[in-house]
Structure 1
Amino acid sequence: MRCGWNGALPAPGIRTIRDMRAVLAVPACVASDPLYYMYRDLARSATDRRWLIDHRLRYDITVIPPRDLCGEHVKTKGHYHPENPAGTGYPELYEVLEGTAQFLLQTRKPDDVVLIFADTGARVIVPPGYGHITINPSPDTTLVLANLVSTEFESEYGEYEALHGAAYYVMSDGRITRNPHYPDVPPVRKCTVVRGEGVAGKPCMGSIYTMIGSRNTLAFLNEPEKYPDVFTGLLKD
């Protein structure tokens, strides 16, 4: 990786076409493996690792090479986060390290569907109550993402699998097509995050990895109900 990480990398988790078939626009799509790689629970030092463990957090990197999956952009499988003990959904913080990303977010109903366009250097917060997939829309550039997330839950993939993906598919020709397995969905809202901005337009100073060691900065990932201002203004059109 050219930017964003200079530490050791363990063997990755790998998503294959078999893993993804249930959520594709064309479930019978034939493609060679692997589709993308997940490097979980990373730390550059023993001190950083201990801090992350003590604060119930995890730093990951996901690498998504460019692919066309039978007319659909390559994407992650998609999942929801459960609620924390206070009854608020766990959020997640992403950073685009290389390439350009699209994040397709939706509520469980779904009564809100948002497509976020994010350049290299942009940060995106997935707020409580939203499921999400990440898409590499580039035909020739690998997408590299970092994320910080609570270790207090397991991601929930079942609803995406049961409904054959998100409420919409983002196709390689630029079309955004409705998933017919959803009985009723709202139109897709769109917003853009550029380099150096968060979703709400707040400045980003350095990589999200530099937040490790700052409890006040990252406490919202485990206790979002105590930090409503973090989510104010997110997902504006």
Structure 2
Amino acid sequence: MNVPWDGALPAPGIRTVRDMKSVLADPACQETGPLYYMYRDVARSDADRRWLAGHSLRYDITVIPPLDLCGECVKTKGHYHPADPAGTGYPELYEVLEGEAQFLLQSRTLDDAVLVDAPAGSCVIIPPGYGHVTLNPSPDTTLAMANLVSTAFESEYGEYETLHGAAYYVMSSGRIVKNSRYPDVPALRKIFMKKGPAPAGAIKSPIYALIGNRDALAFLNEPEKYPALFGLL
């Protein structure tokens, strides 16, 4: 598989259709095989890896080939992040390396739901208190994305598994379908990240260039100190 990375890569974790049965719009989907590939703890040098580990951070790459998943866009499983010691949820920083991504976000209190369209080169911050699913909406183009995230927590998948996915399903046709297992949730808010220069105050690609800059990435472990950063979405 072609991964947009110019260094060594670890063996990927592979999420299969079987792993995803509990979160699909069609749990009887008969597709089989791998869905996406997760390369964890990636670094171009031992020095970069030591710096990341010393600051409780990890750089990952995820590759999602195109697939019609029984009428649904191929997607990641979806999860929430817990709160940090100060009581603020841990955020996450994504960069779209190739293809186009859709980030399906929902607040844990279910008072907000957002679909973010993000082209290659754009960066998206998952705000504190939001669960998220990433989709590849393209029928023929592989999505590759990178992320920087704290290593101080474990992702929480239970609510997505119990409720059979996110509050909304994004179908391959582009149709949005509410997940009937959820209570009333707001209409899906849509945000389109534009190609070209990032707005003032936004984090710019490539995010790998931020490794070594503690101040630029401190928000990933101490989000309560950077509330203005999360209002850009």
What pairs up with 1:113-128 in 2 under 5 angstroms?
Answer: 113-128=113-128
**Residue 216 of structure 1 corresponds to which residue in structure 2?**
215
Q: Aligned in 2, Cα 1:206/1:106: closer, same or farther, shift over 3 Å? A: closer
Structure 1 residues not aligned, in runs of 5+: none
Matched, 1:133 2:133: yes
Aligned residues of 2:97 and 2:145 also touching (Cα < 8 A): yes
- Give the deviation of 1:125 after TM superposition: 0.2
Q: Deviations over 1:56-84 (max 9, x none)?
A: 00000000000011100000000000000
Q: Name the counterpart of 1:178.
A: 178
Aligned partners of 2:203, 2:156: CA distance in 1, in Å?
29
Show the 5 A alignment for 1:27-176: 27-176=27-176
Alignment pair present for 1:229 and 2:228: yes
CA–CA distance in 2 between the matches of 1:140 and 1:38? 20
| 1:169 Cα offset (Å) | 0.2
User: In 2, Cα distance between the equivalents of 1:73 and 1:87?
Assistant: 34
Helix, strand or coil at the partner of 2:192? strand
Give secondary structure in 2 for the equivalent of 1:74. Answer: strand
Give the Å deviation of 1:99: 0.1
Instruction: Number of aligned residue pairs: give it.
Output: 232
Contact 2:122 2:205 (C-alpha < 8 Å) held by counterparts:
no
Residues 220, 203 of structure 1: CA spacing in aligned structure 2 closer, same or farther, 3 A cutoff?
closer
Tell me how far 1:205 sits from its aligned partner: 4.4
Q: 1:73, 1:172 within 8 Å by CA — same for their partners in 2?
A: yes
Distance 1:130 1:204 in 2: 19
Q: 2-side partners of 1:13 and 1:30: how far apart?
A: 22
- What amino acid does structure 1 have at the position aligned with 2:213? S
Q: TM-score, normalised by structure 2?
A: 0.96
TM-score computed with the length of structure 1 as normaliser: 0.94
1:11 aligned partner: 11
When residues 195 and 204 of structure 1 are mapped into structure 2, their CA distance, relative to the original with a 3 A threshold, is farther
Instruction: Measure, in 1, the Cα distance between the counterparts of 2:203 and 2:19.
Output: 34
How far 1:206 moved relative to its partner?
A: 4.0
Task: Deviation per CA, 1:153-177: give whole Å up to 9, x if none.
Answer: 0000000000000000000111000
Q: In 1, Cα distance between the equivalents of 2:156 and 2:64?
A: 21
- Once residues 78 and 197 of structure 2 are traced to their aligned partners in structure 1, the CA distance between those partners, rounded to angstroms, is 24
Secondary structure in 1 matching 2:34: coil
Give, in whole Å, the separation in 2 of the partners of 1:13 and 1:136: 18
Question: CA 1:204–1:220 in structure 2 vs 1: closer, same or farther (change >3 Å)?
Answer: closer
2:122–2:204 Cα contact (<8 Å) kept: no
**Cα distance between partner residues in 1 of 2:92 and 2:196:** 18
RMSD: 1.4
Residues 201 and 75 (structure 1), Cα distance of their counterparts in 2 relative to 1, 3 Å cut: farther
Of all paired residues, the percent bearing the same amino acid is: 70
The one-letter code of the counterpart of 1:209 is Y
Flag as ranges the 4+ runs of structure 1 deviating above 6 A. Answer: none
Contact 1:197 1:203 in 2 (8 A): no
| Deviation of the 1:184 alpha carbon | 1.2
